[in-house]
Amino acid sequence: MGKVGAQRSDEVNKAVFFDRDGTLNVDIDYLHRPEDFIWIEGAKEAIKYVNDKGYLAILVTNQSGVARGYYPEEDIKEVYDWMNKELAKIGAHLDALFYCPHHPTGKIPAYTKICSCRKPDTGMVDEACLRFNIDRSKSYLVGDSGRDLECAQKAGVQGIKYVSGSLLSCIKDFI
């Protein structure tokens, strides 16, 4: 599992975990370049909203394109850094990135495996909760797929399903 972001916290925190593809950006197959990134309506504002409400905003994303040999891990980090530069323009930020580069049928041997970090498994959420001392009972996972909601349920956080329209409006119904 890859991770990028702030250091471990001793204070108790609450978090909103965001899926990336199909939730924060228009889902194109194997997005790995900032120039191909198109924000979902209200996504930047949704992140700012949770920042302003005192939640950590944490990205948790399956990135099997690494295991499949389509792009290196560095591309995931580059997109994350670009996202934070764009978010900074409206006073928002993502606190951390956790990603799963694995897939059971990948082409790159180091990443071809069954792991506990690939959603719907909870490894990314578990690691973030440990690292940032997150109270799961006060936290959410926002995603567009059944595997995101299954991950939320298994991890003991409330799942929020994004379907279409403004992500900010969707989140305001819960938070």
Q: Produce one character per residue of 69-105: b if its CB has 16 or more CB atoms within 10 Å, e if not.
A: ebbeeebbeebbeebbeebeeeebbbbbbbbbbbbee
CB neighbours of 128 closer than 8 A, spacing ≥ 6? Answer: 3, 15, 17, 58, 60, 96, 98, 134
* Tokens read off for 74: 């560095």
36 is annotated as an active-site residue: no
Catalytic residue, from 19, 121, 126, 144: name it. 19
* Tokens read off for 94: 């993502």
27 is annotated as an active-site residue: no
Q: Please give the angle made by the CA atoms of 162, 163 and 165, to the nearest 5 degrees.
A: 95
How far apart are the C-alpha atoms of 37 and 57, rounded to whole Å?
19
Catalytic residue, from 21, 75, 95, 121: name it. 21
The torsion angles phi and psi of 163, rounded to 5 degrees, stand at -110, -55
17 close to 158: Cβ distance less than 8 angstroms: no
Residues with a known catalytic role: 19, 21
